Structure 1
Amino acid sequence: MRLNVKVISKVLGTLLQMNAGFMALCLPVSIYYGEHDLIAIALSSAITALVGFALKFFTRKLPDKELKKRDGYIVVTAGWIFMSVFGALPFVLSNSIPDFTNAFFETMSGYTTTGASILNDIESVPKGILFWRSLTQWIGGMGIIVLAVAILPFLGIGGMQLFVAEAPGITPDKLQPRIQDTAKRLWLIYVGLTIVEAILLYFGGMTIYDAVNHSLTTMATGGFSTKNASAAHYDSPFIQYVLIVFMFLAGTSFTLTYYALKRNFKKVFKNEEFIVYSIFTIIIAIIVTITVFISTDSGLEKSFRDSLFQVVSIITTTGFVSADYTAWAPFLTTLFFILLLVGGSAGSTAGGVKVIRHVVLFKNSFLELKRQLHPSAVIPVRISGKAIDQGVVSNVLAFIMIYILVMIVGVILLSTMNIDFDTAFGAVATTLGNVGPGIGNVGPLDNFYNIPAPGKWLLSFLMLLGRLELFTVLMLLSPYFWKKN
């Protein structure tokens, strides 16, 4: 099998140049606040841009070939790794996170929108670096690859293979016949909602700096905050309800958001995944509210707000914290751990298993009972009234099986590093699901600083694995992928 080295290098070079451009956006922030991170950001941007240029320049004379599906998988996985390596430069060069392992972990957590952090004092970090930290999540939220799909036609490269690799298995409906138009429309919605949220947060009492940062990480379902106490720093019902609404929207398929903006509400409310996602969130929020109201001295509104906030934050894999849910009741700690495995909607910026996969799994399991009684009958799984292909069902079953297996192996490996079971389980579940806070010593009031270096590299790999939905990365590790046709 021959790889299209020229096209792969061209795309990776373009991604790094885009990354450098986003880094440069942090320079005005650094200049305005007069902090010491200016040179580090400028140097990081220059290095990233030069490497990106070199990747394109030194492969320019290689023969042009069509971008194949295998090339697409390599570009997606390598793109995320390259972005994280160079994205860590501002942290290292500014001495905000001098250790490269920690810097890479923080950056991978950003691009994969996980929100797991090693920073013990976020508020002491220079404003320009914190803005870059938020930007990494915003870039990764919709996927730097999807953004590249929107501009690749100008480079003479088709992008369908990238979109398939970015979201294997069950994917959202195309909004337009051409994938480039789809990506552009998704980004317009993404940018628009980010701006609207920032305006609302600003009028709710946040500074413009904090409002922009929190809107960037909310729409990415990333959860990085500029405050040590996360969203709990703002004891404002208005701010927290705004965050709840936009976390929920970010965890909803952007395809459905597009239909809603076009006033095609019939398509929205007939979508089975959206119905399950909404009803499940409401039911769990009610259960948590009742438990918190009974077991604590919080008033009803406060109990409801904190409960709804944390339920939405965990289900959408955002990871913002308004209260320490592990201190409420043992029952709720178990419940929130289960929520780490749920995930948002397919076609959203949320991580996790995704609601649609759970729906397919449960429907297929119950239908299997009927198939046992009627072995000759053809009984397909139906989603939103439409029968889905058996190959999709098999894909879902394989995904969930591999997901569980990866979790087990991850917990075993972390346990060999002298990490207790609760922390190991919580760390693996939250990084693989791209959630952020977990349980044990990586709970909502703790972070990942004390995880040993090998553990951070393992968890970084799990973040990448979860963000690219397992198959994209694992396929590269398969001997079948590298066999000659």
Structure 2
Amino acid sequence: MKGRNLRAAMHVSAVFATWLAALMLIPALVDLYYGNPDWIVFAISCAVIAALATIVAAATRGIRPTYSTRFAFLLVNLLWLTFAVAGAVPFVESSLQLSLADAFFESMSGITTTGSTVITGLDGLPPGLLLWRSMLQWVGGLGVIGLGLFILPYLKIGGSSVFKLESSDRYDRPFSRMTTFAVSIIGIYMASTFICATLYAMTGMTGFDAINHAMTTVSTGGYSTHDASFGYFENLSTQWVAIVFMLIGATPFTALVVLMLRGRIDMFRDNQVIVMLCYTLGLGIVLAIYLDVTHTEELGLGIEHAIFNIVSLVTTTGYANADYLQWGPFAIALVFMATFLGGCSGSTAGGVKTYRWIALYGIMRRALDRFIYPHAVQSVHSGKDVVGEDTLEVVLLYFTAFILMWSLLTVALTLTGTDFLTALSGILTALANVGPGLGEVIGPAGNFAPLSEPAKWILSFAMLLGRLEIFTVLVLAAPAFWRE
């Protein structure tokens, strides 16, 4: 039974790998258009990956899995690893000649929409590689939506199973068939990307920059075509476009389907959307006031810089338009706090997620009330929804696992020679899928290139852990998972 499930998961992963290989023809054509010799790299990578994937798919064809949570856990892990490995091939073979650790790190960061990078000199990078990085994040963002809406709820660890915030039940089932619902989400994802690219171009971006940044904005990935990230674009309207679409990317896509195709504003009655907007705006305003009071920046520029960077961190996009580590310890503390928060479930955003903070607040409030009224029977609510006890247990287990893995992986990273601040913030930003960390090495003005290869493997694992909600990965280490 176990072997059958493994072979079936390999078949599905191989099929998806052929699709990813086909996408490599797009950057190949772009490089060919610009006369860059790296087009042959993408062409060969496409052929090799497609051939290997086809062989695996043919060898495992016709094997029917036993549909269960075990198979789902196995499939999700294998899919993300397959995408990361396949996505790394062009980086290894390109003119950059990245090591295996660097290439896998860059690919894993892209497909998990983390946005951390080991590549410097982005302004002079071949256009095909820049586009491939953006495409990895765009594909990863779409995969994250599917993961949050259709897979994690089935495994009882995702946001949909918590408050039904992303369930079509909450919005009176916008479509009766799941296929129609999924196609609608893909359509809105693509439409949002197109509109974002158009607005970027209208505000002064080149067409190439607009397409790349639209893909990494809507997917809340954060890869840029310039070393200075959004600091390269001086037009304030460009940065406000990014703010709007980062927030759209962090909003439940089910709510967007209902809004755009049914004209209903249910999303503004969704508790987690309101909470996310409130703490994002609150942190942004506090940071802007601090910058003005300390004369770090003028009020107008300070508001724009504060809102942009807080939105980027909360939505786990990872863009930066200024080196906020130069703003003082209070600003750094706010940035550190924003790294934890995350967007809504059922969106492309990572992080702890808003619904978990709502649940944690409800748990703490109920505990305090029980000190006063020991015999009272109270439920935890999210808006009008009652949160079940099993759900609250899962939320508490997630926070426990998050802190535990953060601690253990930080210690592991220090064993590679990484300083404590870099290790602490590096693991946090990997688990939260945010991108930049703290300190001179991996802060918004730096990148992860100086870290050792063992450190990059550890961070790659942490990115996968964070993207798949920790338990999806850890369950594979349980002996019971592999027993009949």
SS at match of 1:407: helix
Give the Cα–Cα distance (whole angstroms) in 2 for the partners of residues 142 and 460 of structure 1.
20
Aligned counterparts, 1:437-448, within 5 A: 437-440=436-439, 441-448=441-448
- Quote the residue 2:104 is aligned against: 104
Partner of 1:458: 458
Q: What is the letter of the counterpart of residue 332 of structure 2? A: T
CA distance in 2, matches of 1:358, 1:25: 40
**Matched residue of 2:402: which SS?**
helix
Taking structure 1 as the reference length, the TM-score comes to 0.93
In structure 1, what is the equivalent of residue 58 of structure 2? 57
Q: Give the direction of change, closer, same or farther, for the CA distance of 1:160–1:314 in structure 2 (3 Å limit).
A: closer
Given that 2:145 and 2:253 are in contact with CA atoms closer than 8 Å, whether structure 1 keeps it comes out as no
In the alignment, the residues of structure 2 paired with residue 295 and residue 240 of structure 1 have an alpha-carbon distance, to the nearest angstrom, of 24
- Preserved contact between residue 75 and residue 162 of structure 1 (Cα < 8 Å): no
TM superposition shift of 1:449: 0.6
Contact kept, 8 Å, 2:291 with 2:298, in 1: the verdict is no
Deviations 1:365-384 (A, max 9, x none): 11112233334433111112
Which residue in the other structure is 1:396 paired with? 395
Asked if the contact 2:85–2:104 (Cα under 8 Å) also holds between the matched residues in 1, the reply is: yes
* Mapping 1:137-176, distance limit 5 Å: 137-143=137-143, 146=146, 164=154, 168-171=158-161, 172-174=166-168, 175-176=174-175
Q: Which amino acid aligns with 1:164?
A: Y
Aligned-residue offset at 1:162 = 7.3
- Structure-2 separation of matches of 1:161 and 1:220: 18
Cα distance in 1 between the residues matched to 2:145 and 2:355: 23
* 1:12 and 1:55 in contact (8 A); partners too: no
Aligned length: 473
Please state whether the residue corresponding to 1:26 is helix, strand or coil.
helix
What is the correspondence of 1:20-419 to structure 2 with a 5 Å cutoff? 20-60=21-61, 63-143=63-143, 146=146, 164=154, 168-171=158-161, 172-174=166-168, 175-262=174-261, 265-296=264-295, 298-419=297-418
Q: Given that residues 37 and 126 in structure 1 are in contact (C-alpha distance below 8 angstroms), is that contact kept between their aligned partners in structure 2?
A: yes
Deviation at 1:52, TM superposition (A): 1.6
Question: How far does residue 247 in structure 1 lie from its aligned partner after superposition?
Answer: 0.5
Q: CA deviation at 1:170?
A: 4.2
Q: CA deviation at 1:168?
A: 2.8
Residue by residue over 1:235-270, the C-alpha shift from the partner in whole angstroms, topping out at 9 and shown as x without a partner, is 111100000100011111111222222455452222
* Contact 2:113 2:221 (8 Å CA) reproduced: yes
C-alpha separation in 2, matches of 1:65 and 1:408: 37
CA 1:115–1:314: 2 relative to 1, 3 Å: same
Percent identity reads 36
TM-score (norm 2): 0.93
> 1:101–1:453: 8 Å Cα contact kept in structure 2?
yes
Counterparts in 2 of 1:130 and 1:166: CA distance versus 1, 3 Å: farther
| Residue 7 (1) aligns with residue 8 (2) | yes
8 Å CA contact 1:426–1:438 kept in 2: the answer is: yes
1:176-228 CA-partner distances (Å, limit 9, x unpaired): 44443332221111111000000000111111100000000001101000011
C-alpha change, 1:145 and 1:10, in structure 2 (3 Å) is farther
1:285–1:203 CA distance, 2 compared to 1 (3 A): same
Q: Match of 1:299, as an amino acid?
A: E
Q: Distance in 2 between matches of 1:365 and 1:167?
A: 21
Other structure's SS at 1:113 match? coil
Q: Which amino acid aligns with 2:191?
A: G
One-letter amino acid of the counterpart of residue 168, structure 1: G
Aligned pair in 2 of structure 1 residues 165, 32: CA closer, same or farther (>3 Å)?
farther
Q: Which amino acid aligns with 2:137?
A: Q
8 Å contact from structure 2 (residues 144, 348) kept in 1: no
CA deviations on 1:270-300 (whole Å, 9 max, x unpaired) are 2111111111111111100011122245322
AA aligned opposite 2:284:
A
Matched with 2:171 is none
Which residue in the other structure is 1:154 paired with?
Answer: none
Distance in 2 separating the partners of 1:428 and 1:87: 22
Q: What amino acid is aligned across from residue 270 of structure 1 in structure 2?
A: R
Q: In the TM superposition, what whole-angstrom CA distance separates every residue of 1:52-91 from its partner, at most 9, and x where no partner exists?
A: 211111122x543443321111111111111111111111
Letter of the 1:347 partner, please give it: G
**1:152 matched residue in structure 2:** none
The Cα shift of 1:167 comes to 6.4
Task: Check 1:299–1:373 CA distance in 2 against 1; reply closer, same or farther (3 A cut).
Answer: closer
Gaps of 5+ in 2: 169-173
- Which amino acid is the alignment partner of residue 140 of structure 2? G
Matched letter for residue 98 of structure 2: P
Alignment gaps of 5+ in structure 1: 150-158
Distance (Å, rounded) in 2 between the aligned partners of 1:160 and 1:248: 22
Supply the distance in 2 between the matched residues of 1:177 and 1:353 (Cα, whole angstroms): 31
Residue 163 (structure 1) shift: 6.6
Amino acid at match of 2:129: I
Q: Distance in 1 between matches of 2:239 and 2:269?
A: 29
Q: Which moved more, 1:388-397 or 1:415-424?
A: 415-424
SS in structure 1 opposite 2:367? helix
Instruction: Measure the CA separation in 2 of the matches of 1:361 and 1:136.
Output: 33
Q: Contact 2:145–2:348 at 8 Å: present in 1 too?
A: no
Give the Cα separation in 2 of the matches to 1:166 and 1:201: 39
Q: CA deviation at 1:98?
A: 2.5
Judged with a 3 Å threshold, the aligned counterparts in structure 2 of structure 1 residues 298 and 369 are, in CA distance, closer, same or farther, namely: closer
Please say which of residues 425-434 and 93-102 is displaced more in the overlay: 93-102
Q: Describe the superposition over 1:440-476 as per-residue Cα deviations: whole angstroms up to 9, x where unpaired.
A: 1210001001111111000000000000111111111
CA–CA distance in structure 2, aligned partners of residues 181 and 377 of structure 1: 45
Per-residue deviation at 1:357? Answer: 0.3
Alpha-carbon distance in structure 1 between the residues aligned to 2:179 and 2:157: 15
Deviations 1:137-162 (A, max 9, x none): 00001217939x9xxxxxxxxx9657
RMSD of aligned alpha carbons: 2.0
